A and B are shown apart, each in its own frame.
Chain A
């Protein structure tokens, strides 16, 4: 199981837990698992998120591997100028 840190207001939508565990070995499995296990997160996931895996930020790459000990943090989808 991968532990995923949620941002504050996202935690409220996941039942209040700041950290949730998801069975996932890749980014895609992680996002699918979150949507499945925590339907309250779906609107935010649909709007798009970025994911920090061990301090590196990923936006799109589904098959980015995630280790069981990886630090995984959901972030609002990054924008730039």
Chain B
């Protein structure tokens, strides 16, 4: 195995081009676990952290462009991100321990392509777009289109994610992400739910994006959930409808972390709770 730490995107693309068994290293919190477990035996590891800009958070078009090597801890310390996309920041903050937070990244969480990745439903709800670089140039891709199947992404050979773009939050808007785990920390999500919504002047839901994690082979954007609350005040009836739609939309499996029935039920529970938080944030309340 070889290790390279290129200083530019071009160098990284060159290093990865045509190299079989090459893996990109950002935070490494998934990659090193797989390496150690001998699930992967790379020929080459390309550390992208020394590429200019990879560790920066930059304001762009009213939103934020987050370098692929920005850690969860750094996001949590960024006042602008925390103010605009608290749900995304909280979601990335849920990944692993304080120690893991010191390294784990949004891009890595996405490329690991686990259906249970915490930050991914939050990014999907936020309408995040990633900038993919590779031998054929640069392209912007919606986060929802990156995961293909458990452990697999739509990235082509030699491509990697250079940054994640969170769009402008918009007026009267808020987001939230909740997950269910058996302990209070250190577990993989049994169910995750991200919601981003905007309210109209009357406090009705003007637009919403609702996503679910860990209840299907990949993250899902639940359009029916958004439709269920569209134009409504988030009263008990609306929340109950939201919960029912999310429970129905979930297509989970039984595994060591949870059962089908449990995951379906909790999908609705989390959607309801996350919606209340997102609504409060959209109203400018502390939540």
Direct contact of A and B (CB under 8 A): no
B residues with a Cβ closer than 8 A to A are none
Residues of A participating in the B interface, judged by any CB pair closer than 8 Å = none
